[in-house]
Structure 1
C-alpha cells in the first residue's frame, strides 16, 4: 500500500471516530507508544500525512518537535500515545479531556 493511501485510510478512520481529529506534522513519521513517554515501547509508526483522533490527553515525557516543546501526550487509541509536539492542534495546552 502506498503512503498516500495509508494517510487517506488513517484520515478517514480518525475522522469517523467521534473524537477531534488533527493532522500530524508534515514530513514526519511519528512513533506511537504504549504510554505517554519515550520510556514506553513503540507499538506503531504513523505514515506521512496522517491524521489522529485525540481521545484524551495526559502529562508525560517532555518532547521537542515541530510544534514546540511539551509534556502533553495525545491518546489516539487504546494504549496508543503520540507526543502533542508532533500534532497540529492549534494550542500549546490541552484540547481534549484529560485521560483518567
Structure 2
C-alpha cells in the first residue's frame, strides 16, 4: 500500500455513524455525544491515506484522508497484509460504515487489536 492508501469523512458524517449513542445530562440520546467520547487515532505524519470499501488494496477507494487526520476505530478485522510506516500487518481498521484503512498507517500504540473485531 502506498502513501496515499486511505481516507476519512467529515465530522458530521462520523457523528451520524457512531456505533452506539450516549445519554446527555438531560436524558436525551445523541450520536454526537457518543462520537465526542470516542478516542481518535492519528494517521502517520506525512501520509494521505486511501480509505477502502473493505480490508485490502483490491477494494475500491472510497476517499482519501488529508494530512494530519485523526480517525475513530469502531472495529478491526484481518485482511490483506500491508506494509506501512508502522510496520507490516493484516489488521484493518473500520473508521466509518464501509470504510477501512490499514492499521499500519494509524498510530494506535499497539501491534494488535485496540477495538472489537468487526462482524
Regarding TM over 0.5, the answer is yes
Poorly superposed stretches of 4+, deviation over 2 Å: none
Structure 2 runs not aligned, ≥5 long: 1-9, 16-32
Cross-structure match for 2:94: 75
Once residues 20 and 37 of structure 1 are traced to their aligned partners in structure 2, the CA distance between those partners, rounded to angstroms, is 24
**Which of 32, 38, 41 is the aligned partner of 1:22?**
41
What's the C-alpha RMSD, in Å, of the aligned pairs? 1.9
Whole-angstrom CA distance in 2 between matches of 1:32 and 1:60: 14
> How far apart are the structure 1 equivalents of 2:117 and 2:38?
13
Larger radius of gyration: 2
TM-score, normalised via structure 1 length = 0.83
Structure 2 Cα separation of the partners of residues 78 and 70 of structure 1:
22
Partner of 1:54: 73
TM-score (normalised: structure 2): 0.70
Report the equivalent of 2:50: 31
Q: CA deviation at 1:19?
A: 3.0
Distance 2:74 2:41 in 1: 11
